Amino acid sequence: MAYWLFKEEPTHYSIDDLIRDKRLVWAGVGNNTALMHLRSVKKGDRVLYYHTGKEKAVVGVMEIVKGPYPDPKRDNDRFVVVDVKPVGRFDRPVTLAEIKANPVFADFALVRISRLSVMPVTAGQWAEIERLSKQGS
């Protein structure tokens, strides 16, 4: 199993929307590097759900239920989508400011390449985000 982080604007589609809908086709990725990462995702992988915009925080976890396949809404095989389901919402979001202040994340793509919408997460980074999400809850 691999770990990832996917970003979305909560006013477009939030973790609460995903929990309500129970499953989603994750589409709309256009950046070449993000698409490269999305093509590497496999069924069973875990994904941190990051709210962009005003929130700028990791808010929960998703699971990949179907690996990459051509985007059915685009007439170009370059674009792929994956299917995700919710695992759960964090009791306490982990903010970008907390992540940037923590040396565990010095080489994390979220800190280095802030505009990337799909990125890998190391097991150590994943564990630290989970730990932070439980602080004060």
What domains are defined for the chain?
3-134 (3.10.590.10)
The string of pLDDT tens digits covering residues 58-116 is 999 999 999 999 999 998 989 999 999 999 999 999 999 999 999 999 999 999 988 89
Q: What is each CA distance from 55 to 58, 59, 93, in whole angstroms? A: 9, 9, 9
Task: Measure the CA–CA gap between 25 and 67, rounded to whole angstroms.
Answer: 10
The string of pLDDT tens digits covering residues 44-53 is 999 999 999 9
What's the pLDDT at 137? 52
Task: Measure the CA–CA gap between 134 and 102, rounded to whole angstroms.
Answer: 16
